[in-house]
Amino acid sequence: MKNKIDQLFETKEKDILSIFFTAGYPNLNDTGKILNELQKNDVDLIEIGIPYSDPLADGPVIQHASQIAIENGMNLTLLFKQLSELKESIHTPIIMMGYLNSVLQFGLEKFYEQCYMNSVSGVILPDLPIDEFEKEHAYFANKFNIKVVFLITPRTSLERIKYIDKISTGFIYVVSSNSITGNSHSNFDDLNNFYATFKQIPIKNKTLIGFGIRDHQSYNDACKISNGAIIGSAFISSLKNRINISHFIDSIKQPQHISI
């Protein structure tokens, strides 16, 4: 069966909207409600964060959400159980994002197998070294048809970009700045220069921009130079502030003001 991420990019190349939320936040059993609302509002990709006690790449909003989710009792076993109950109704591609230690504790082959069994299309592990991916993860990712997504930043060398593009089959996650998630702004002048440089290679994979994408303007700016954008901290803040999910997604797709 073709991976849903491949299916997505075959039918839509621009203005991809990916939304991230932390499993188990704000409440332990909110996974289904959030997934259904995001699908109903035509989000293209959904990233589910695996709560972790020391999320180094994440800013205070996602760190807080992870802490609350862990206190609520969320873990990988429960998350896969929740997804198993939703796999017949959720057709939007799902990506799980977390840290390597959580996966290793769960069991490497078991993790990729459970992703496949529960209709997860991809995985993002920001602290996964490329050589470890090739030696330990690639076999299981290929066996279970799971895309492993790598991150690059404006400081990533062209040689590393070429290599990441070579081993990637889903898309490349472009970090908008050398910062953590939820930074208040993205320097699109730097990103434009960065894209102008590495697109000369050229690369075969689609790219989505994340970190600091929080409203219609930043989403629109990201879509002008890439295939789309990833929104995390701003969406989690909207959940905390009990903003209607439909209202939030509309505010990203259309130019309007929303306070989060």
Catalytic residues: 47, 58
C-alpha 67/C-alpha 209 separation (Å) is 25
Judge contact between 146 and 121, C-beta under 8 A. Answer: yes
3-state SS class at 18: strand
C-alpha 155/C-alpha 254 separation (Å) is 32
> Which helix (H) or strand (E) element contains residue 49?
strand 45-49
Find the length of the chain.
260
C-alpha 117/C-alpha 232 separation (Å) is 25
Q: Which of 87, 244, 210, 45 lies closest to 79, judged by CA?
A: 87
Beta strands 45-49; 228-231: pairing state:
unpaired
Strand partners, 16: 228
Residues 6 or more apart in contact with residue 251 via CB below 8 angstroms: 215, 216, 257, 258
Q: Which of 79, 41, 25 lies closest to 233, judged by CA?
A: 25
